[in-house]
Structure 1
Amino acid sequence: MLKKVDIVGIIKKNINQFMLIIEMIAIFLLFSVLTDGMFLTPINVSNLLMQACTFSLLAIGMVFLLIAGEIDISAGAALGFLGTLAAILQCKLHMGTISVIIITVIFGLVIGAWNGFWVAYCNIPSFIVTMASQLVFKGLTLLIGGGTSIGPMSDKFCVLGQGYIPSLLSDNINVLTLILVAVFVIIYIILELKKRKDRMAYNLEVAPLWRDYLKIAVICLVMITIAYVLAIYKGIPYAVLLLLAITIIFSVVANSTAFGRRTYAIGGNKEVAKLSGINVRRSTFMLFVQMGMITAIASIQYLGRIRQATPQAGTSFEFSAITGCIVGGASTMGGVGTVIGAVIGTVLVAGIDNGMSLLNLSAEWQNIVKGLILLFAVAIDIITKKKK
Structure 2
Amino acid sequence: MDKVKEVLKKNTMLVALIIVTVIFSIGTGGKLLYPRNVAILIGQNSYVVILAVGMLMCILTGGNIDLSVGSIVALIGAIAGTLIVNMNVNIWVSIIVCLLIGILIGVWQGFWIAYIRIPAFIVTLAGMLIWRGVALIVLNGLTINPFPENYLKLFNSNIPDIFSGSINITALLIGAISCIIYIALQVIKRINAIKKGYEPEKVSMLAAKSIVFSVVIMVLAYTLAKHEGVPTILIILLAVVLIYSYFTNKTVPGRYIYAMGGNEKAAKLSGINTNKVLFFTYVNMAFLSAVAALVCVARFNSAAPTAGQNYEMDAIGSCFIGGASAYGGIGKVSGVVIGAIFMGVLNNGMSIMGVDTNIQKVVKGLVLLAAVAFDVISKSRKK
Shorter-normalised TM-score: what interval?
Answer: over 0.9
Q: Distance in 1 between matches of 2:318 and 2:187?
A: 25
Q: Give 1:76's aligned residue.
A: 70
Match of 2:347 in 1: 353
* Identity over aligned pairs, percent: 36
Equivalent residue number for residue 132 of structure 1:
126
How many Å separate the matches in 1 of 2:81 and 2:178? Answer: 33
Give the one of 295, 305, 310 matched to 1:301: 295
Residues 367 and 282 from structure 1, CA distance in 2 versus in 1: closer, same or farther, beyond 3 angstroms? same
Q: Which runs of 5 or more structure 1 residues have no equivalent in the other structure?
A: 1-6
Deviation digits for residues 177-205 of structure 1 (CA, Å, limit 9, x no counterpart): 12222233333345555666777888888
**Aligned length, in residue pairs:** 381
87-96 vs 199-208, which moves further: 199-208
Match of 1:288 in 2: 282
2:22 aligned counterpart, secondary structure? helix
Spell out the pairing of 1:311-326 with structure 2 (5 A cutoff): 311-326=305-320
Q: Structure 1 CA distance, aligned partners of 2:203 and 2:377? A: 28
Does structure 1 retain, via aligned residues, the 8 Å contact 2:260–2:329?
yes
> Is 2:84 the counterpart of 1:103?
no
**Aligned 8 A contact 1:161 1:303 in 2:** no
The yes-or-no answer on 1:60 pairing with 2:57 is no
1:342 lines up with 2:355 in the alignment: no
Which residue of 134, 137, 141 maps to 1:143? Answer: 137
Q: For residues 231-267 of structure 1, give each alpha carbon's deviation from its aligned partner in whole angstroms, at most 9, with x where no partner exists.
A: 1110111000000011111111111111111111111
Spell out the pairing of 1:361-372 with structure 2 (5 A cutoff).
361-372=355-366
Code of the residue aligned with 2:15 in structure 1: it is I
Matched, 1:385 2:379: yes
Task: Quote how far apart the aligned CAs of 1:104 are.
Answer: 0.8
Query: TM-score when scaled to structure 1?
Result: 0.92
Q: Look up the equivalent residue of 1:371 and give its one-letter code.
A: G
Aligned AA (1:144)? V
Is residue 273 of structure 1 aligned with residue 294 of structure 2? no
Cα RMSD between the aligned structures?
A: 2.1
Q: Give deviations 1:323-370, integer Å, cap 9, x for gaps.
A: 111222211111111111111210111111111111222221121111
Task: Flag the 1:210–1:71 CA change in 2: closer, same or farther, 3 A.
Answer: farther
Which range is displaced more, 31-40 or 217-226? 217-226
Q: Which amino acid aligns with 1:304?
A: A
Question: Which deviations, in whole Å up to 9, do the C-alpha atoms of 1:18-55 show, x marking residues without a partner?
Answer: 32222222211221221122111000000001111110
- Which shows bigger deviation, 180-189 or 65-74? 180-189
Change (3 A) 1:224 1:205: same
The answer as to whether partners of 1:161 and 1:302 remain within 8 angstroms in 2 is no
1:118 aligns with 2:124: no
Letter in 1 for 2:333: V
| Residue 217 (structure 1) aligned to one of 211, 214, 233 | 211
Q: 1:186 to 1:68 in 2, by over 3 A?
A: farther
Tell me the amino acid that sits aligned with residue 334 of structure 1. G
- Indicate how the Cα distance of structure 1 residues 377 and 205 shifts in structure 2: closer, same or farther if over 3 A, else same: farther
Distance 1:176 1:387 in 2: 49
Pick closer, same or farther for the CA change 1:65–1:171 going to 2, 3 Å.
same
Q: Aligned equivalents of 1:325 and 1:122: distance in 2?
A: 27
- Distance apart, 1:11 and its partner CA: 3.8
- Does structure 2 conserve the Cα–Cα contact (< 8 Å) formed by 1:195 and 1:255? no
2:30 to 33, 37, 43: 37
* Aligned with 1:20 (options 13, 16, 39): 13
Q: Is the 1:90–1:96 Cα contact (8 Å) retained in structure 2?
A: yes
Contact residue 68 and residue 335 of structure 1 kept, 8 A? yes
1:167-186 mapped onto 2 (5 Å cutoff): 167-186=161-180
Q: How many angstroms apart in 2 are the aligned matches of 1:386 and 1:200?
A: 35
The amino acid that maps onto 2:16 is E
Q: Which amino acid aligns with 2:46?
A: C
1:154-192, CA deviations, whole angstroms, 9 ceiling, x for partnerless residues?
111111331111012123121221222223333334555
- What SS is found at the alignment partner of 2:32? coil
Equivalent AA in structure 2 for residue 271 of structure 1 = K
Structure 1 residues 195 and 321, CA gap change in structure 2 (3 angstroms): farther
Contact 1:60 1:250 in 2 (8 A): yes
Equivalent position SS for 1:39:
helix
Conservation of the 8 A alpha-carbon contact between 1:161 and 1:238: yes
What residue in structure 2 maps to residue 3 of structure 1?
A: none
State the TM-score, normalized to the length of structure 2.
0.93
Distance across 1 between alignment mates of 2:343 and 2:309: 16
- What SS class does the counterpart of residue 264 from structure 1 fall into? helix
